[in-house]
Structure 1
Amino acid sequence: MGQDLKCLRLPGGSDTAGTQPGAVPHCAATPKSVGIVWGLLILNTLGSAGAKTVIPLPRSLIQMVTMAALVTAFSLALVLNVRLRIRASAFVFLLTLLLVPSVISSANLGVGYGALFRCTRLALFVGTLWLLSRWWDGGLTFVRHHIRIYFAVLASVAAGLVISPGTAMPEYYGGRLVGALWPLTPPQIGQYAAVIIGLTVLLVLGRQTTRASAAMVIVPSLVLLAMTHTRTATLGLLISLALAIGSLVLTSAAARRFFAWAVLCAVVAAVAFSSALQAWYLRGQSQENMSNLTGRAKVWDALLAAPRTTGEQALGMGLGDKSFGGLPIDNSWLAVYHEQGLIGVAIVAAIIIALGGVALLRPPSLPRACAIFLISYCAISSYTEAGLGDASPYLLHLALAASLLAAPAATPPHAAPEAPQRHSPRRARDGR
C-alpha cells in the first residue's frame, strides 16, 4: 500500500474527499510514532483467552505482554505530547465519566483485585486516547494505521493456518478459523476482517488508494472472514457499509456505481447460491439453537433475573471478564449493566448517540462515511458481542470514528511573500 496509503489530507473544510474543484492534498503533521502508539493499543485489546495455539502460551504471559503494551503506549504518548496538549472530545470525556461507576463498583474488594486491575487498565487506555486527541483533525491518518495494524494481525492468522491447519481450524470450534499463533477466536478474526474490508472499500471510493493496493487487503480478508463463519461480523459489514456508501451517493459518482453493482451482485448471489448461503449461515445448527442465539438468550435471561440491590443496579458489580455464571454474556449492553450498572448503560448510550449525531450533522465526506461505518458496525455488533464498557477493539473503532469527526485544527494563514519592487531602468539610471 506504501505510497497510496500515505498521510493525505485535503483543505477546504469538510471536503476531505477532494470533491471540490481545486482541492489539493497535503500531508498532516502527525509523527510516525503515533502509529506505534495506536498499534500498541491494538495489541493490548487482542485479549488473552481464546483458541489453543501451536506453541502453548500461558495466559499470564499473554496478559503481561498486553499490559506492557498499554503501559508503553501511554508512556510513548506522554513523551510525544509532553506539554499535555489535548483537544476537546465528547467521546473521551464520556469514557472518562465511565470510569466513575467502574471504580466505585470495583472498589468493593468482594469482587476481587482483578476488578481494580481492569479499572487501572481502562484508566491508562482512556489517558492514552486523551494524549492522542492532539492529532485528531478529521484526517485519514488513523484510518491507515488501523488498516495496516489489523491487516498484520490477520497475516499472523493466515500464517498460523499455513503452519498448522488442524490447530487453526479445530473441531471444538466447529472447524471455524482461529488464531494458531496468538489465541484469537473466530468472532475476533471476523471483526478485524470486516472492519478493514469496510474501511478499505471506502478509501477506494474516495480515491485515497489504488484498486490494486485495496485488493491486496480486501481479498485475503474476505477469505478469512468466510472461514470464521462469523454471522455478526458479516451482517455488520454489509449493513454498515451500505449506510456509509449511502452517505456518499449524493456527492460521489463512484459510490453510486459501487452501490448499484453491489445491489445487483447481492440479488444474483441470493438467487444462484441461496442454499449454499443458508448452509453457511446456519453452520449446521438447529432452528431451536438459532432461535435462542446459540445459547446466549439463556445467559441473558438468567442475568436479568438475578437479584440485585439498588446500588448494584445503579453502579454494577465491578469490572469483570464479561461473563455471568461462568458463561460469556456476549452482549455489550447487558455486560455494561452487569458490571457498571444503569449509569454505565446511560453513558455508553450517550457515546453512541453523540457520535452518531455528530456524524449525521457533518456534510458528506469520506471521513464522515468512515465514521458512519465504524459507529454502525459497533452498534450492530453490540447485540451479540461485549466490549463497549471496557478497553476493547470496539472502543478503538469508536475512537477512530471520533478522530474522523473532529474539526480540523485551526492553522494561521501563511502570508504570501512580498513581490520585489521593480524599478524602471530610467529611474535607476537617474538615481531618482
Structure 2
Amino acid sequence: MGTGRTSKVVGLVWGLLILNTLGSAGAKTIVPLPRSLIQMATMGALVAAFALALAVNVRLRVRPSAYLLLLTLLLVPSVLASAHLESGFGALFRCARLALFVGTLWLLSRWWDGGETFVRHHIRTYFVVLGSVAAGLAVSPGAAMPELYGGRLVGALWPLTPPQIGQYAAVIIGLTVLLLVGRRTGGRSAALVIVPSLVLLALTHTRTATLGLLVGLVVAVGSLVLTSGAARRFFTGAVVITVVVAVGFAPLVQAWFLRGQSQENFTSLTGRAKVWDALLAAPRSTTEHLFGAGLGDKSFAGLPIDNSWLAVYHEQGMTGVVLVGAFLVVLGAVALLRPPSLGRACALFLITYCAIASYTEAGLGDASPYLLHLAVAASLLATPAATPADRLPQPLGPSQPLGLSRPPLDTERR
C-alpha cells in the first residue's frame, strides 16, 4: 500500500475511533434514533478501525509506549472484576471493547513519531462532529437547546450532551490556537475552527471544558514563552483580554458561570458530591477494593458518577486508580523533561485538560475521548521514527492549512 493511501487509512481509523467514543445516550434527536442502532454503529466503527489498522500494519510493527503499556495493564483488573458478572455480561462486553480499542492504538503507534499528524486528525474529526451539532442547531433550535437541559446546547442530530460538545470544542480550540502560535497553520484556517467552536462552547455553558481550555492553554503557551516570540505576544494579549472581560463584563460572566443554579446546588457540583459520598461510604470486599466491581456505565445507584477517579475505583478498584495515575504521571513527566517545542506544548495542553476534566467527568478507565486525547499526547512525545518508510508525508512549509475539506498530513517539526 502506498504512503499516501496509508496516510488516508490512518486518518480514517482515527475518525472511526472517535465515532466509537461518541456514545449512545444523550438528548432526544430531531429524528429519533434507536439506541441499539447507535450502539451498532459505534461498535461497528471500532471493529472497522481495528480491521483497517491491521490491514495497514500487517507486520504488527509497534512503537514502544509506556502509556499504551499501562493502558494494556488496566485490562487486568477490568477482566478480573468483570469475570464475577456483578455488573452483568455487559461488563465482559465492555472489556472486549476496551481490548479492541487499545489494540487499535497499538497498531497505530507505528506512526507515532513526534509530529502533528494525529493532532490534525483530531481537529478535523471533532470539527466534523461539531458541524453536526451546528447543523442541528440551525435546523431545530428548540431541539438543540431543550428545557430539559436548561437551554444548554445538545446534539439534535446525534445524541450528544452539553459536556461532550463542550469537551470537543475546547480541545480543538486549544490545539488550533497552539498550531497558530507555532505557525503550523494560517490565521484564516485557524479562525474557521476557533470562532464557531467558541460559539458552541459558550452555548453549552460547560464550566469544566472552559476551565480546562484556559488552564491548559496557560500551561502550554507558558512552556513556549522563553523560546517563542509569538507565544509571548499571545500570552500578553490573552492576559489583557481576560482582564478586560473580567472587569467589563463581570455580571455576564458570573451569570454564564452559575447557569442559574442556587448556591447549594453549585457548591455540591450539581449534586455530584452526594453521589461521590454515597459511593465512598458503600461497603466493599477486599476483592472489590482492589479490583472493583467490573466495567459498567460509570454510574452508582442509578446516578452518574461524573468523576474519573471514583469511576475507576468503583469499576477497577485501587489497582485501576494506580494504573490511571501512573500513565498520567508518566506522560506529564516525559512532557516536562522534553525541550520546549510545539509538540510538547500540545501534549501539555491535552494532559492538563484531561487532568482537570477528570474531577467532574468519567472516562479515564475505559474507551473514551479522554484516552484518545492522551493518545495524541503520547504520539507527540514519541521519538521520531528511525525508518523513513514508517513516516507519513511531510509538510511543504511551516504554515499549513488544517485541511478540513482536503486533509494534508503534516508530521515534520520545524
Distance 1:29 1:333 in 2: 40
Q: Deviations over 1:161-183 (max 9, x none)?
A: 01111000000000000000000
Distance 2:340 2:386 in 1: 21
CA contact (8 A) 2:86 2:293 kept: no
> Quick check: 1:389 aligned with 2:365?
yes
Per the TM alignment, residue 60 of structure 1 is displaced from its structure 2 partner at its CA by 0.7
Structure-1 residue corresponding to 2:225: 249
Structure-2 residue corresponding to 1:372: 348
Q: Deviations over 1:67-125 (max 9, x none)?
A: 00000000000000000000100000000000000000000123210000000000000
Counterpart mapping for 1:164-313 below 5 A: 164-313=140-289
For residue 318 of structure 2, the aligned residue among 342, 348, 370 is 342
Structure-2 residue corresponding to 1:428: none
Structure-1 residue corresponding to 2:400: none
Distance 1:32 1:142 in 2: 12
For residue 308 of structure 2, the aligned residue among 329, 332, 335 is 332
Per the TM alignment, residue 410 of structure 1 is displaced from its structure 2 partner at its CA by 1.7
Structure-1 residue corresponding to 2:81: 105
Name the TM-score, length of structure 2 as normaliser: 0.92
Per the TM alignment, residue 30 of structure 1 is displaced from its structure 2 partner at its CA by 6.0
Structure-2 residue corresponding to 1:162: 138
> Quick check: 1:70 aligned with 2:46?
yes
Structure-2 residue corresponding to 1:408: 384
Structure-2 change in CA distance of 1:29 and 1:139 (3 Å)? farther
Counterpart mapping for 1:78-89 below 5 A: 78-89=54-65
2:157 is aligned with what amino acid? Answer: L
Distance 1:269 1:160 in 2: 30
Distance 2:48 2:136 in 1: 27
For residue 117 of structure 1, the aligned residue among 87, 93, 118 is 93
2:8 is aligned with what amino acid? Answer: K
Distance 2:288 2:112 in 1: 36
Q: Which runs of 5+ in 1 are unaligned?
A: 1-26, 413-432
Distance 1:266 1:345 in 2: 36
Structure-2 residue corresponding to 1:22: none
1:372 is aligned with what amino acid? Answer: L
Q: Deviations over 1:335-356 (max 9, x none)?
A: 0000000000000000100000
Per the TM alignment, residue 29 of structure 1 is displaced from its structure 2 partner at its CA by 9.9
CA contact (8 A) 2:85 2:294 kept: no
For residue 149 of structure 1, the aligned residue among 125, 137, 141 is 125
Runs of 4+ in 1 over 4 A off after TM superposition: 27-30
CA contact (8 A) 2:6 2:56 kept: no
Q: Deviations over 1:169-199 (max 9, x none)?
A: 0000000000000000000000000000000
Alignment root-mean-square deviation, CA: 1.3
Q: Deviations over 1:123-151 (max 9, x none)?
A: 00000000000000000000000000000
Per the TM alignment, residue 242 of structure 1 is displaced from its structure 2 partner at its CA by 0.6
For residue 37 of structure 2, the aligned residue among 61, 67, 87 is 61
Distance 2:125 2:229 in 1: 30
1:364 is aligned with what amino acid? Answer: P
1:197 is aligned with what amino acid? Answer: I
Per the TM alignment, residue 32 of structure 1 is displaced from its structure 2 partner at its CA by 1.5
Q: Which runs of 5+ in 2 are unaligned?
A: 389-414
CA contact (8 A) 2:173 2:193 kept: yes
1:150 is aligned with what amino acid? Answer: Y
Structure-2 change in CA distance of 1:28 and 1:375 (3 Å)? farther
Distance 1:220 1:30 in 2: 31
Structure-2 change in CA distance of 1:249 and 1:30 (3 Å)? farther
Q: Deviations over 1:283-305 (max 9, x none)?
A: 00011111110100000000000
Distance 1:108 1:64 in 2: 26
Name the TM-score, length of structure 1 as normaliser: 0.88
CA contact (8 A) 1:30 1:135 kept: no
Distance 1:226 1:205 in 2: 23
Q: Deviations over 1:294-349 (max 9, x none)?
A: 10000000000000000000000000000001000000000000000000000000
Distance 1:233 1:31 in 2: 31
Per the TM alignment, residue 42 of structure 1 is displaced from its structure 2 partner at its CA by 0.1
1:247 is aligned with what amino acid? Answer: S
Distance 1:157 1:92 in 2: 32
Distance 1:368 1:109 in 2: 42
